Structure 1
């Protein structure tokens, strides 16, 4: 999570989110950014004095799993209410505002979870242009039972008498629902009202402004030094390559390490595309045998990622000495990568956020402690959709901009259990069929990701009157906005049938195809 002091150098057109442990805190930031106003998540422990120095246009208090009346429940600095800066409390944030300003919050007779129709009592200010009866997403077991002095009721639901409140003069607002989630149909109009009308923020968070600022920062940091870029061919590293090349030109060398875990035909196509069409220098390194040896016999997914990440950096170090010297390593690390590599929850007793690792991204959690490069990560604060916009802005071809995310460890984490050359070949062929069929139907861009997974088990089948004992392939097709949450795609049965028939008939070693219908959460998009 970014620290308050790190925001001092950012554009003053900023709205900060004090995080009380909500699973939606980062989503609030993303929604604010959709209004072209910069937003970041910072600790709820940030003091009023620190906020005064930051001078944000607005403050949002996130939701959280605690109850405000619990002993040790997380509290914000009560001096925040005296800053004169507009504040919006969301769910727990609203209840905390009420409690600290003299109102009352109690356990509700009946909790409210899911969709609820919002009945608007005051259609002005925060709820301007929000339709009466619009759907909002509720998730709370506590309710406000008494408003603080000076507050007025803005809206209610059948089950919640105080669904939205305001102290208009002090510009303090609270909503019991979650306007940031897609299920809240009136959420974005409300957010825009807070950002533009109440906070008077200007839409300065634009792609053009980010490019200009990033180029200045890259040049200031790198100077006349040479930079090595970890190119994978995905939208993140490709966008980074275009941005870095624009900033420092021939000081940049892109290195593509073929670790043997890429999809079929991709290594050859990637190198040709960047060198011949984009005129960006790419050093190709064939390290397939080395990476296979590094993960030989390894079945634990976290260990796979760490070994691949470790080997990845070691190869870069060795090749940089051969081609270099290089002082910097540029990586396409994104905000969700950072979040997932050290994800967080809240201690129910103290409210303190503690690290809970979901998985190590090979360009975050897998870095060795003795890394000899200095890192350059201009995309570290961006969500995936923002990277796509940036890619278009710097001239990246649409075929790369819209390319599905592909994990750094590649097919190694789409093969559960031990990785062998035979399993890699099976998965490459199956994965190619998945991509061919959705491209053939013109629906590639309907999915966030669409790929195949190979399971390390065998099952009995019958092919040509012969008994078979072969691997199953899992199809994983999901929809998502930013990769932080995802839902399995409801694809036509005939598409699944075509893919299944082709895989079973064309890929030796496979006799069964299944479809993964798990959303994220509770699952992750990748299987490992």
Structure 2
């Protein structure tokens, strides 16, 4: 990925639940950041040419036998270092301080009192609330450090050595529960490190387009276009860079949501100047899935057939050297791939599972591999993609096949597509109303993901004075930010009543609607 500046903040990850959040908070302040594992050698970190380093928190005790360590050379690189929670503790013990086990832990909101001058805490109140999550705490600071804040439980809530540009907090400035955390990060990035807020989407697109053109030259690129956010943004980016040198292969397995195939084709034939191939494989998939009830078998059939359809087109498209993919930064981080200054030194495991036919191979182009999901959406908007693609909800690769419990049939698909369209229409409108009222797209009451499920049962009903024996629809709507955990959405009764009434009235074959009120865990968001 091209960078518009040499500025770079490296986040060393000690296994924190907030590791990715730290990098996001830095990027939100328009400074580029990357994540490296905590045990990265100082020489590797130096090669990445960081402008600053942040040490994340982590669940371990610094004195545990298998506790993660940091290369002491990190503190000799001549760049400012900031540590949070475990990051403060490992800084202290590495530089000659001590960490003790406090009598009681400190979890959640805690009142903090500043002590003396502090570059990191400048322009924040003398008394303020911070977010704590620890049992151990620094008991003696290293030589040259001063204590800059305390809490009732923590004798060293923050410390710094301004002479060496080393700063640390026991609390978590990166979470929204520390109200002044953003000010502290700004102090570090701009006042202490002297960085500029110049990492913006507008500048990135131009440099990414130049990179793609330089890499591809006169060769051709092929892309499996699912219609999801990631692949659509890659397609739009490559379209701007190389136009007709890009072939987008859209495999229509008949399992997408209502009207989605038509939307994808319209965007990538009318809005972007690319070679668009619409593979109508609906009948082939229907035959393969006929009578299949086991969800994993559905997944295998759909995945295997997808690659067969894709490579059939690829092998008849001349001059193709590159395969473009929508890999994003969390994919890279979660697969354990190390980042240096450029590309990942390893490729995400599922890329190695691409079933290339014998004698066929393409080099990869992954222009989004340094971007988080909402950054990908911002790129999509800047590239001119319509909102219904940019803000499309997460959707499983096997499509509606795993939202139909039991076997998949044309009748069931028709029922589910129509019911699901009503669910999305009503809850899209509900979210839009909340946005108008709150001014926030991520209101705590908005739905993050919502869809219909068709179970493999029938239920008795009465419609028009006649007994019916028809299918129920299950409504699933959750609040979440990352899909790791999710809570069921507390929808108003009038919204639920409108959804239920419309589905029963407008979708033939349905006589009942139920609402799934199970959180994740113990359930998952999807049913299969």
TM-score where L is the length of structure 2: 0.85
Q: Which residue of 1 aligns with 2:344?
A: none
In structure 2, which of residues 340, 354, 357 is the aligned counterpart of residue 367 of structure 1?
354
Q: Which residue of 2 aligns with 1:328?
A: 322
Is 1:377 the equivalent of 2:366? Answer: yes
Q: Which residue of 2 aligns with 1:400?
A: 389
Is 1:427 the equivalent of 2:416? Answer: yes
Over 3 Å counting, the alpha-carbon distance change for 1:470 and 1:394 in structure 2 is closer
Q: Which residue of 1 aligns with 2:479?
A: 478
Deviation at 1:86, TM superposition (A): 1.0
Over 3 Å counting, the alpha-carbon distance change for 1:87 and 1:523 in structure 2 is farther
Q: Which residue of 2 aligns with 1:276?
A: 270
Over 3 Å counting, the alpha-carbon distance change for 1:74 and 1:132 in structure 2 is same
Secondary structure of the 1:145 match is strand
- The question of whether the paired residues in 2 share the 8 Å contact of 1:98 and 1:144 is answered with yes
Query: 1: distance between equivalents of 2:152 and 2:90?
Result: 22
Query: 2: distance between equivalents of 1:302 and 1:132?
Result: 57
Q: Which residue of 2 aligns with 1:490?
A: 490
Number of matched pairs: 504
In structure 2, which of residues 33, 37, 40 is the aligned counterpart of residue 39 of structure 1?
33
Query: 2: distance between equivalents of 1:184 and 1:54?
Result: 30
In the TM superposition, what whole-angstrom CA distance separates every residue of 1:369-423 from its partner, at most 9, and x where no partner exists? 6573322110121112211221222222344333334343322343455544444
Query: 2: distance between equivalents of 1:179 and 1:36?
Result: 17
In structure 2, which of residues 107, 120, 123 is the aligned counterpart of residue 129 of structure 1?
123
Over 3 Å counting, the alpha-carbon distance change for 1:296 and 1:467 in structure 2 is closer
Is 1:62 the equivalent of 2:62? Answer: no
TM-score where L is the length of structure 1: 0.85
Structure 1 alignment gaps of length 5 or more: 1-6, 345-359
Secondary structure of the 1:247 match is helix
- The question of whether the paired residues in 2 share the 8 Å contact of 1:435 and 1:450 is answered with no
Query: 2: distance between equivalents of 1:118 and 1:130?
Result: 11
Secondary structure of the 1:194 match is helix
Secondary structure of the 1:169 match is helix
Is 1:138 the equivalent of 2:139? Answer: no
Query: 1: distance between equivalents of 2:4 and 2:297?
Result: 37
Query: 2: distance between equivalents of 1:459 and 1:105?
Result: 62
Deviation at 1:96, TM superposition (A): 0.8
Query: 2: distance between equivalents of 1:203 and 1:11?
Result: 10
Q: Which residue of 2 aligns with 1:232?
A: 226
Deviation at 1:249, TM superposition (A): 1.4
Secondary structure of the 1:396 match is coil
Query: 2: distance between equivalents of 1:475 and 1:458?
Result: 17
Deviation at 1:222, TM superposition (A): 1.5
Deviation at 1:513, TM superposition (A): 1.4
Moved more, 330-339 or 243-252: 330-339
Query: 1: distance between equivalents of 2:292 and 2:87?
Result: 45
Deviation at 1:326, TM superposition (A): 2.3
Instruction: Map 1:267-306 onto structure 2 (within 5 A).
Output: 267-294=261-288, 304-306=298-300
Instruction: Map 1:446-525 onto structure 2 (within 5 A).
Output: 446=441, 447=446, 449-454=448-453, 456-458=455-457, 460-464=459-463, 466=467, 468=469, 470-480=471-481, 488-507=488-507, 508-509=509-510, 511-518=512-519, 525=525
Q: Which residue of 1 aligns with 2:342?
A: none
In structure 2, which of residues 37, 45, 58 is the aligned counterpart of residue 51 of structure 1?
45
